Amino acid sequence: MRHVEIGLLLSESGAHGRATAPREPAAARLRAIVERAVRAEQLGFDSIWLDGETPGADGLRATPVLLAAIAARTTRLRLGAGLPLCAGLDPLRIAEDFATLDSLSSGRIELVVSDRGFATPSDAAPAGDDASRDRLRETAMLLRRLWTETDVCWSGRIRGPLERVTVHPRPVQQPHPPLWIGSGGDPHAGALAAALGLPEMSSCGTGPSPAATRVGTCCVVSFKDRDPGHRRPGALGGSPAEVAEHLLAARSALGIDVQLVCLDVTGPADPMASEPLERFGRDVLPLLRKP
């Protein structure tokens, strides 16, 4: 049985919902994110993913800074980020930041780029227009060139021209850090991933395109009542055994290589509380690791 990477997605806003209780001060929340990543490594997760940089959202920001802090406190955990390009981020800056992170982490960085949000289900966000799809295609192409080539010259529709640009430091991972296309079930994004030979990150319930070269999915997991009124759309709920059964079934049906979970705490509890993380690590991960 091939190994499937199991990652923890930390998302305070966007596709996976908003906080339902007053939040701690920002500094305390940021420290808590780092501590949760450290604990995820101890519990046996393979990776930690941050969903950030969403315009107008009171969520995770300065994703590379947070990942650098996590890299300094962990040794094995792969470090992933989801960057919605609607935030207007410069591909050159993305390439520099994540090449630096790849060096700092000894080659543990992965990146998802999308035209809306991190693997946002297509029914939860407006369909991408031609401009956003052009931005996604050009950004993916330029990132790959900046990570694999020197003296890059570039002229495109979305980003201004570049003349003999070389990113330093060079990425540790070869030919470049894993670069995913976040599709959220959008067939255009899925087709782009296949055309570029890049892996596709989709959302739970939508599935990747049939032509995906490597597949990742992310979903919300709740240990609360399975009544849909108590869970967000698309969330997996129930007992640990039921959650594991759902995740294993999706893995089998979709041929998943990477399976991300966002632990959902609805109601008055703090969405960043540790208890669901401990419960998943204790009761669900062992079931997912069984041969």
For the chain, the domains span: 5-289
Q: What topology does CATH give the domain 5-289?
A: TIM Barrel (3.20.20)
In eight-state DSSP terms, residue 167 is -
| C-alpha span between 105 and 43 (Å, rounded) | 20
Six token digits for residue 147: 């990570």
Region of residue 107 (left: phi > 0; alpha: psi -120 to 50; beta: else) = left
pLDDT at 158: 82
Identify the pLDDT of residue 56. 45
Q: Cα-flanking dihedrals φ and ψ of residue 146, to 5°?
A: -65, -30
Q: Tell me the C-alpha distance between 239 and 42, whole Å.
A: 23
CA 51 to chain centre: 6
Mean pLDDT of residues grouped by 10 in the chain (291 residues)?
Answer: 85 47 72 93 96 55 90 97 83 96 97 76 54 90 97 91 96 96 85 92 75 83 62 70 91 89 60 74 92 74
Alpha-carbon torsion, ordered 217, 210, 124, 251, to 10 deg: -30
Paired tokens of 68: 């650098």
263: β partners: 221
The DSSP symbol for 274 reads S
Burial code (b: 16+ CB inside 10 Å, e: under 16) for 33-65 equals bbebbebbbeeebbbbbbbbbbeebebbeebbe
Q: What is the pLDDT of residue 40?
A: 96
Can you point out the beta strands (E) in the chain? 5-10, 47-51, 78-84, 109-114, 152-154, 162-165, 179-182, 200-203, 215-221, 258-263
Question: What is the Cα gyration radius of the chain?
Answer: 18
Structure tokens at 108: 């543990």
Task: Give one DSSP letter per residue of 1-23, joined into a string.
Answer: ----EEEEEE-SSGGG---SSPP
